[in-house]
Structure formats: C-alpha cells, structure tokens
C-alpha cells in the first residue's frame, strides 16, 4: 500500500514524504516533496528550498498552502505565492495544504498556470472537488476525509489515498483501514489503482538526489 502523503517517522517505505524541517532534509527520497508552512517552527529557509528543488529533478513542491485556523495573514500568503512560483518555475507537482482556502488557492494555481497539483487530505465538497479536477489537478483522501459530508460522491472521482501521519505501525494500520473502506465503497482493487497512480505521477528514474 502506497501512502501519497505522510511525514517522516520510523518506517518511511512506500510513502510520499512531506519534508518540512531542516532536520528532515537527509530523509529526501525519490518520492518526496519539500514544503513550507508558515506556522512550522523549524521551517526550511527559502534559499535552501530553491537550491534543493533546483538540484533534485524528482523533488516535488509541498506541502504548502493556507490555513484559516492556523494563520492566513499577509506573510502566509507571501510564503504560499513563493512556493507556487517554485512549482511553476521548475515545473514540479505542487502538494497543497488548504483549510477553508481551497477556492482561493485553486484560482491562484490557475492564474499562475501551475500544471500539476494535489490537494491533500481533501475534506471539501463534491462540487469543489470537480472544480479541482476540471483544472487538471487531483484530490487525496485521508482518514479525515472519510468524515466529510460528500465522501460517497468523492469516492466516485479519481483520487489518491494518504494517511497524513508520521510513518510507522500506526500509520500503516490506519492506511490499511482507509484502503479497505475505499474498496468497500468502490468495489475496486485500491492497491492496483494506487500503484498505477504512483507510476503515473512519479516516473521511474535513475537520477540521484543531492541534499544539502
């Protein structure tokens, strides 16, 4: 089972890791993204983020975004726009964190002509998810997503599956429950579906990664 959004823990195999702090930089793999969240106490400096993105062609951009609960001020928007520009300038997939800002973020991604994006741990409406997909982007569903009102309709769309947890036994157990719930609702083999999505999003490459 592949986890499309997890955080470094004690078992990082089969997970797309969101790297958010300087201490996590050595954990970058072929399926990682480098992120900037304004409320993260040990957030990575902008110049270091750009260096890593420039030097590592497989490194995606994210997670980054806006959160009305944790922030949303002018500095947060500035950080969001910086990261969106990194995704545009280096033609990388953007991994989006959004809490009550999805419509605004979607408009900005379209305006900046961001080609690829994943709205992770999506809990919005079916209509908003359709708008995301019409723009050419994807949603990723987490255990939190299962509690949203429109989950039945969301499971009829294309989607990714994620834990949004630190890797380890608890994460693997929660991810297994999520896969089973999605299989019960759709009647489809989620492991096969997610593996096909993984291959589509991250092509196999022999390129090495260079960390600071």
Q: Is residue 109 classed as helix, strand or coil in its secondary structure?
A: helix
| 159: nearest Cα among 122, 192, 134 | 122
The whole-model pTM stands at 0.95
Could you tell me whether strands 160-161 and 138-141 are parallel, antiparallel, or unpaired per DSSP bridges?
A: parallel
The DSSP secondary structure of 41-54, one letter per residue, reads TTBPPHHHHHHHHH
If one counts every other C-beta atom within 10 angstroms of the C-beta of residue 140, the result is 22
66 φ, ψ to 5°?
-140, 150
Domain ranges of the chain: 3-201
CATH 3.20.20.140 fits 3-201, yes or no: yes
Tokens representing 102? 């999805």
Q: Along the 212 residues of the chain, how does pLDDT read in single tens digits?
A: 999 999 999 999 999 999 999 999 999 988 899 999 998 889 999 999 999 999 999 999 999 999 999 876 888 999 999 999 999 999 999 999 999 999 999 999 999 999 999 999 999 999 999 999 999 999 999 999 999 999 999 999 999 999 999 999 999 999 999 999 999 999 999 999 999 999 888 764 434 567 65
């Amino acid at each position: 089972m592949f986890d499309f959004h997890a955080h470094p823990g004690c078992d990082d195999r089969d997970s797309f890791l969101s790297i958010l702090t300087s201490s996590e930089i050595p954990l970058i793999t072929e399926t990682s993204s480098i992120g900037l969240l304004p409320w993260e106490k040990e957030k990575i400096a902008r110049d270091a983020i750009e260096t890593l993105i420039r030097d590592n062609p497989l490194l995606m951009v994210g997670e980054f975004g806006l959160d009305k609960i944790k922030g949303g001020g002018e500095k947060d928007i500035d950080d969001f726009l910086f990261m969106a520009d990194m995704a545009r300038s280096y033609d990388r997939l953007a991994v989006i964190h959004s809490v009550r800002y999805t419509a605004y973020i979607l408009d900005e991604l379209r305006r900046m002509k961001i080609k690829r994006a994943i709205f992770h741990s999506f809990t919005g409406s079916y209509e908003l998810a359709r708008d995301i997909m019409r723009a050419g982007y994807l949603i990723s569903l987490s255990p939190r997503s299962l509690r949203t009102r429109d989950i039945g309709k969301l499971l009829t769309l294309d989607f990714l599956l994620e834990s949004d947890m630190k890797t380890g036994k608890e994460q693997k157990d929660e991810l297994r429950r999520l896969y089973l719930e999605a299989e019960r609702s759709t009647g489809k083999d989620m492991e096969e579906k997610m593996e096909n999505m993984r291959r589509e999003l991250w092509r196999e490459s022999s390129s090495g990664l260079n960390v600071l």
